Structure 1
Amino acid sequence: MPIRNIAIGRPEEATHPDTLKAGLAEFISTLIFVFAGSGSSIAYNKLTNDGAATPAGLIAAAIAHAFALFVAVSVGANISGGHVNPAVTFGAFVGGNITLLRGIVYVIAQLLGSIVAALLLKFVTASTVPAFALSSGVGVGEALVLEIVLTFGLVYTVYATAVDPKKGSLGTIAPIAIGFIVGANILVGGAFDGASMNPAVSFGPAVVSWSWSNHWIYWVGPLVGGGLAGVIYEVLFISHTHEQLPTTDY
């Protein structure tokens, strides 16, 4: 059971050079992802003079996020595992694949990376960085469930392609699969609540634009969905007769 593998970690782990390097990798990967993802929304708004959302805009956002996440995961994979998302880190923690202290370093780095990306976007574009918000007619309950389901699919994909010790050669396409599921999920949920699936992605723009309406949904939904995916995959599908992955990988 995952609960047996959950660990807080030793205090010195939080300041260990390997952990700090991994945190820096998460910071850079998240900065790359948020800069490209949120930047694509700003570019769309500029090209349309802040016009109404269109199917073309949704497709463009899905492609931008899919490509950016593919790169962000790839460049961080060999150092930190390429989480780029507190929900992924939380899912790895509840599955016993990362310690609490190392996970906290990851989350702090991800949040800082998102904030810096949003600040850079505001500076270079002289535009408002759009914060995530619910679309007209979308209720809090619907948005919360949507974020849970979307993030479940994302973290389940991470487990199946990157965490599972039996993944074999499938691990080589993990960043592509992870980018694809995010792009597909944006096509599903983007018109309703923006399809965040990632508290860090929501946090940076919220800080810079100082817009916190229903922001808690973009934390609770992804963490619940990511946690469920981590527990379910770890309990049902990972054979513990195999050698466990080292905590430095995921």
Structure 2
Amino acid sequence: MLSRVAVLSDIHGVLPALEAVLDEPEVRAADRIVLTGDIAAGPQPTQVLDLLTGLGERVVWISGNADRELLEHRRGRRDAVPDPIAPWAAERLRGDHLDLLARLPRSLVLTLRGMGKVLFCHATPRDDEEVVLVDSRLDRWQDVFGDLDADIRTVVLGHTHMPFVRLAHGRLVVNPGSVGMPYGRTGAHWALLGPGVELRTTNFDVEAAVARVTRDSDYPGITEWADYFLRARATDADALTAFGPRDGRTDTA
């Protein structure tokens, strides 16, 4: 049984943010580092994947929609990818990177001391693109979690890049936020689990990170990309407005 797990979600190929989180004492001491998807679709995809694979079995990998899209693009199963940086990132992956992404599960369950069975996924347990938010309605959560076993009392997910913890029909829901593409405020956001839940933010030198990513990545739009995402230009209100219609709500809901 595991005692402590660090959860890193939505790294999106940002090496300085990932390095900052991995240097946290609690992350170094954790039994496992769980990645809840969208790992490589960003400006430094190969560097991020190589750093994480070098950590060996301490890292537990889960696929996100962006990881799936990278693989599908490179293997000719899709022409268009919604994220403009994704096709560029996909072309930089080596064969071993593609094989790794192809093996990743969509979800998994770990048993943590004091928490019991915890399910980890990217967006929801049933879909890697589905949207749930901190203010999603209870009937929405009932629909999304309807097929889960009753003994799974905690679900950890990512996808929307905004950290929160809430109860939904007695089940704890945790979103650690995004390591590499935060919405609402700067910093690399992650979570520490066991025996409770802590939402954490690792602050790092954003200006230095912007300069480094801009220097090291040859993505054509890297200057604008780094300025927008590393400086968290999108507010939490912007993100909730954009994501809200995708969680099934209506104007009267």
Q: Which has the higher helix share?
A: 1
- Whose strand fraction is larger, Structure 1's or Structure 2's? 2
Q: TM-score, structure 1 length as denominator?
A: 0.26
Provide TM-score, normalisation by structure 2.
0.26
Q: Which has the bigger relative contact order, CA under 8 A and spacing at least 6?
A: 1
